[in-house]
Structure 1
Amino acid sequence: MWWLNVSSDNWIGFVTMKSVLLLLVIHLLHCEGRVVVRRDEQLNNRPIIGVLSQEQSKSLQKKYPKENYTSYIAASYVKDVEASGARVVPILIGKDRKYYRELMQKINGVLFPGGATYFNQSNGYADAGQHIYEIAKQMNDRGDYFPIFGTCLGFELMIIIASGRGEVENRIECDVFENLPLRFDHGYKNSKMFSAAPQDVLTILSTQDVTVNYHMFCIIDQNLKNFSLDRDWLVTSHSTSTGGSKFIASIEHKRYPFYGVQFHPEKTFEWKQSKNYPHTVESIKANRYFMDFFVNECRKSDHTFNNVVEENKYLIYNYVPHFTGVLGSAYHQCYMFEPRGITNSCL
């Protein structure tokens, strides 16, 4: 036999090498299994996402003179989150930093919704957003995974905050009110947002007019270059309006789990006929992907409330949505919140 001709020294070395390789394989298999189990154990299958409210429009506030509601959340954002398997806690504006810090220790992520409000109003949407953004960075720096997703106005706010929120806002006027496809950038498949996206979803997004654009401002590549933000943020897609305006459509931070889109995935839950929001099977499937992705990001956070009683006090179920579509609002339904003494005339 061949092994009879092997010297004792070589034989010992051969056996030793086999033993080492065998132990290495066993270790790798054990570690791989342990990682999978640990990852499953860490996933939070009861995620709760905070949705930031914003200043109420003066026109809609007049519809509720007795209540004097001055902040709101469009119900379509709540439905979007719930459809992806999470619950919602409304985040009020006009609070101090302690309020946002304590609440963020109990929830698993924050959604900055779109809408229409100014960024230079004290104690409003932008100030609250800045508190949340800065606290979230601190959390992630400590290894406490905490995602943020910005839609339209919320996406613009994140970039403006990252720019330093100067007197001149780092965005441009860009009136776009139409449904558009995405033009994916080179390397988008390596991004966190799109690396696991199904091919049929990517095909719909890139070939059909399924992303709802409804914005007076937008972020372009030059806005990122103005403050060297292109070093920290990865642009994954652009869109171009029929008028020729090219703008960033989706983006993500290279270090933090912060994501933004200029369009409105939640509009599949809005039904105003004059807005022409897409409700085809393909558009619903494609737009669902974004909140599904974000909720799965929030599952990586293990924050919880102290108990069910405390949790129930904060949930959106404590509020009743109003049928605001019949009152002239662009939103089919809205949740209204306590008076904050701040209004705007944008809606």
Structure 2
Amino acid sequence: MGFLTRLCLVFACCICCYKAMPTNPSQEAVNDRPVIGVLTQLVSDDVMKPFGRTFIPDSYVNYIESGGSRVMPIRLTFSTAEYENIFKKINGLFFIGGAADLETSDYARVAKIFYRLALEANDAGDFFPIWGTCMGMQLLTVLVAGENLLTDTPAENVALPLNLTAEAVSSRMFQDFPKELLKALTEEPLTGNFHNYGITVQTFQESEKLSGFFSLLSTNVAGNGARFVSTLEGKRYPFYGVQWHPEVNGFQWDARLNLPHSAHAVQLSSLLAQFFVNQGRRSLHKFDTPEEESSSLIYVYKPVYTANFTSYEQAYFF
């Protein structure tokens, strides 16, 4: 057989093999320029009211950015149609801590709109994650249960280890954690708590809506002896909640507060930020133009130095 003939046969074989190679249609697309929307929180402290009606502490912005995302602040004054349009642009939603009525406030009203949109999107195969921290997690339980089930669970200005449940190790949130960090999480005070209310474990277990929707990943004991839910993860939906504050570990430094700053505490904060942003990478929502995207980001606002009258170093006001 001549050289050219052999070459043709090899080439033809390669073509056939190439055509016969299976593709991987289930491979997920990845968005490496995610934008996480952060619902602005109502200003409740009198000393902050001169600066704006709503705000976002800079620590949350830094925390989300440390995971590899940009931040879009979401005001509480828009129409439902405007929020529906914003939803199509962002790749995840973050409910921060603070103080607001979880059923009647504008904060609750807007959160309910986005919660509905996220449920509908995920049901349709349009992946969209939500995270709630402290009051943000409490808000998620109100949205899921359809009622406010919070009770007194005081854990104000205290750092605690987590009592992990059997579901935690296999959870999406913790499954990729190094074993050393998981062990430290149960033994060292790595989680900063600043709350007076929460969901008790008994209430969670007795609520079919909550226990059917969420997996309970960790618990803690409050100052009054109540055992409360401290970490939640949606069973079907990519919704996550922590009663504690992972953002303070690396981005708040008020010496009056029990803020965990150990190597393990910072590692915990970093991994959780990366985890949620990676969830956001699975969302393919995007802005219509680069100009629209740029004008919507937190960078167009200037943070205000607030350390002289609040526990935050800086905050954005709206």
What TM-score, normalized to structure 1? 0.81
The structural deviation recorded for 1:304 is 0.8
Q: Specify which of 162, 165, 169 is matched with residue 185 of structure 1.
A: 165
Q: Specify which of 188, 193, 201 is matched with residue 208 of structure 1.
A: 188
Is 2:73 the partner of 1:98? no
TM-aligned CA distance change 1:62 to 1:294, over 3 Å: closer
Name structure 1 gaps, 5 residues minimum: 1-25, 338-347
Q: How does 1:1-347 map to 2 (within 5 A)?
A: 30-31=21-22, 34=24, 38-39=27-28, 42-64=29-51, 69-122=52-105, 124-165=106-147, 169-177=148-156, 178-228=158-208, 229-241=210-222, 243-268=224-249, 269-326=251-308, 328-337=309-318
The structural deviation recorded for 1:81 is 0.4
Matched residue SS, 1:94: coil
TM-aligned CA distance change 1:99 to 1:60, over 3 Å: farther
Root-mean-square deviation (CA, aligned residues, Å) is 2.0
Deviation track 1:218-273 (CA, whole Å, cap 9, x = no partner) reads 11223324431212210011122455332111111111110111100001211111
Question: Which stretch has the larger CA shift, 311-320 or 234-243?
Answer: 234-243
The structural deviation recorded for 1:120 is 4.0
Contact 1:211 1:287 in 2 (8 A): no
What TM-score, normalized to structure 2? 0.88
1: CA distance, partners of 2:236 / 2:140: 14
Name the count of aligned residue pairs. Answer: 298
The amino acid that maps onto 1:318 is V
TM-aligned CA distance change 1:232 to 1:119, over 3 Å: closer
Matched residue SS, 1:275: coil
Contact 1:180 1:208 in 2 (8 A): yes
Larger of the two Rg values belongs to structure: 1
Contact 1:213 1:264 in 2 (8 A): yes
TM-aligned CA distance change 1:286 to 1:61, over 3 Å: closer
Matched residue SS, 2:260: coil
The amino acid that maps onto 1:173 is D
Deviation track 1:41-81 (CA, whole Å, cap 9, x = no partner) reads x11111110011011124134444xxxx1010111000000
1: CA distance, partners of 2:181 / 2:229: 19
2: CA distance, partners of 1:307 / 1:79: 25
Question: Which stretch has the larger CA shift, 236-245 or 294-303?
Answer: 236-245
Matched residue SS, 2:43: strand
The structural deviation recorded for 1:275 is 0.7
1: CA distance, partners of 2:75 / 2:21: 47
Matched residue SS, 2:247: helix
2: CA distance, partners of 1:114 / 1:187: 25
2: CA distance, partners of 1:146 / 1:262: 21
The structural deviation recorded for 1:94 is 2.8
2: CA distance, partners of 1:288 / 1:298: 15
2: CA distance, partners of 1:192 / 1:98: 33
The structural deviation recorded for 1:140 is 0.5
2: CA distance, partners of 1:218 / 1:76: 22
Deviation track 1:112-150 (CA, whole Å, cap 9, x = no partner) reads 01112222444x211111111111001111110000000
Contact 2:38 2:73 in 1 (8 A): yes
2: CA distance, partners of 1:256 / 1:282: 28
The structural deviation recorded for 1:288 is 1.8
1: CA distance, partners of 2:215 / 2:24: 32
Matched residue SS, 1:297: helix
The structural deviation recorded for 1:331 is 1.6
Question: Which stretch has the larger CA shift, 180-189 or 224-233?
Answer: 224-233
